Chain A
């Protein structure tokens, strides 16, 4: 479905010189390699998360696959189309929802933008009504679509963006930081919606996000990009198994403990009575739990996996 081979993207940026005259008349340029010969394939109905630090090349990859940008070299094929040729048959099969961009008409209700989408994507009146009805129902926002966009909150606008973007039932959907800037409740709503949309309409979902919770919830496969190179391409489960070397142990103490007692178990990462938190290596976890139960009076004890953020941090440390 999506095939990318040796994809390279080089941006030209000008080098600031100390002499402003030279900056204007004798400008020098340097090449910034945003993507360096990356290759991967994505199959039908897959959900793939692209992660990496700022400037790693995630969004550039998505923009080339969707046809916004021209590649410098390499081969890209999406559903048999060359994206940058921007053929209408290709564009009708994709959608790009960006958390930091909007396509809604600011002064008018979202229904006007939907009507525009209907004409742009040549959706029949019957399908249009059905799709708007279904999407507003999933997002629980039927009352919002007739209000001027400028009066909506960020989370509400994002719901409208999702409807506008997905109204034509695309086969491939690119989400670029769809939950950025949203409160935790809105983030949850958007994640649930994306998950439901993908399952219900069998769409291929390609996602980038700095919130690893998005990736954890929505993507089975993970592609990690750093400095224009793919440094990991595999399942999320595998990376957790491989790089989640510690567990987070939280204890609720019955009475205050002194530093010696706490350090006898391990060095705690935080202690504010009654809560003490340890990060304990998986290999020594049983004996440490035993030591806790024998030496510390507690009313509650919980053992959790490391957060996905911690795992990815460990991954980056080990793959520098």
Chain B
């Protein structure tokens, strides 16, 4: 088992290296991609500042807290882009029948089709986003800082970020499975991105029953808002269990769907 994990890790790093080599060949593309991401980030940041220019508090959250929600959204979104970028390239693989070549390899197919295309450009963004979260968090807590408060808050925050990544992983595996069953990937991904986009701001800005719907039915709230709320100490123990219950159930469901999809795979283009 350990040997298999080691092998898949080696392959993961090798795929990542080749993705980087491929990415570096299109320098103009990198510049445009970076500029686009930066522009979108700054545009929405400006929007938050404009909103808080009119009021001090929105739904009980201060400017700094709203910024942490927004930055956390960006941290999670970028991490999922970094890890699961290859999913965006899955449809042509299925349509051309080249997915056959992945299935024939003595490795787990996820090594290639889920984690096989690390997006290095997004790594450039995650680190500053995370640093900014810490900076704004320090502004929300009283000075002098208690090491224990910071440590426990940040630890639970990271635990929830991890939970969000498990949820994102489950969603991307579901997309892969649907890609095999229906050959549709792009639109499912777009729906996912639109839905998680709702998590840029605290869930409290949405009215009931929409808020509950996006927290319990479609776990956008669990994925994007729970980590920040945990950082502010607004979540109690049962929510931690609830969040992990949702993400692990989602993961199990996605794996069942994946196995079902493999049975249905028809290997097009033969």
Using CB atoms and an 8 Å cutoff, list the residues of chain A in contact with chain B: 11, 59-60, 63, 66-70, 86, 88-89, 91-92, 94-96, 98, 100-103, 105, 107-108, 112, 115-116, 119-122, 176
Contact A69 B267 (CB under 8 A): yes
Interface membership of B62, Cβ < 8 A = no
B18: Cβ under 8 A from any A Cβ: yes
Task: Give the docked Cα–Cα distance between A88 and B270 (Å).
Answer: 24
Q: Hey, which chain B residues are within 8 Å of A70, CB to CB?
A: 262-263, 265
A-B contact count (CB 8 A): 73
A158 CA to B201 CA, complexed, in Å: 52
Q: Does B98 contact A (CB under 8 A)?
A: yes
State whether the Cβ of B269 lies closer than 8 Å to any Cβ in chain A. Answer: yes
- CB pair A116–B104 under 8 Å, yes or no, is no
In Å, the complex CA distance between A297 and B263 comes to: 68
Asked if B256 is at the interface (CB within 8 A of a chain A CB), the reply is no
Q: Which residue of A lies closest to B19 (CB)?
A: A105
Interchain residue pairs with CB less than 8 A apart (9):
A67-B104, A68-B265, A96-B104, A100-B97, A101-B98, A107-B22, A112-B21, A116-B15, A119-B11
B210 in the interface (beta carbon within 8 A): no
Q: Confirm or deny: B7 has a beta carbon within 8 angstroms of a beta carbon on chain A.
A: yes
Across the interface, do A94 and B10 meet the contact criterion of CB distance under 8 Å? no
Contact B266 A92 (CB under 8 A): no
| Chain B residues, CB < 8 A from A119 | 7, 10-11, 14
Chain B residue at minimum C-beta to C-beta distance from A122? B7
Contact in complex: A120, B100 (CB < 8 Å): no
Which B residues lie within 8 Å of A101 (CB)?
A: 96-98, 100-101
In whole Å, how far is B27's beta carbon from the nearest beta carbon of chain A? Answer: 13
In Å, the complex CA distance between A3 and B113 comes to: 32
Complex interface: chain B residues within 8 A of A68 (CB): 100, 103-104, 265, 267
Q: Cβ of B106 < 8 Å from any Cβ of A?
A: yes
New contact pairs (15) apart from A63-B100, A70-B265, A101-B100, CB-CB < 8 Å: A63-B270, A66-B104, A67-B104, A88-B107, A95-B104, A98-B100, A100-B270, A101-B96, A101-B97, A101-B98, A102-B101, A103-B101, A105-B18, A107-B22, A122-B7
Chain B residue nearest to A86 (CB atoms) is B103
Does any Cβ of A come within 8 Å of B25's Cβ? yes
A176-B97 Cα distance, complex, nearest whole Å: 13
Complex CA gap A103/B18 in Å reads 14
Say how far B94's CB is from chain A's closest CB, in angstroms: 12
B105 beta carbon closer than 8 Å to chain A: yes
A184–B14 alpha-carbon span in the complex (Å): 37
Indicate if the CB atoms of B98 and A103 lie closer than 8 Å: yes
List of A residues within 8 angstroms of B25 by Cβ:
107
- CB distance B100 to A96 under 8 Å? yes
Q: What separation, in Å, do the CA atoms of A119 and B270 have in the docked complex?
A: 28
**Closest chain A CB from B103 CB (angstroms):** 5
B95-149 residues with Cβ-Cβ distance < 8 A to A are 96-98, 100-101, 103-107
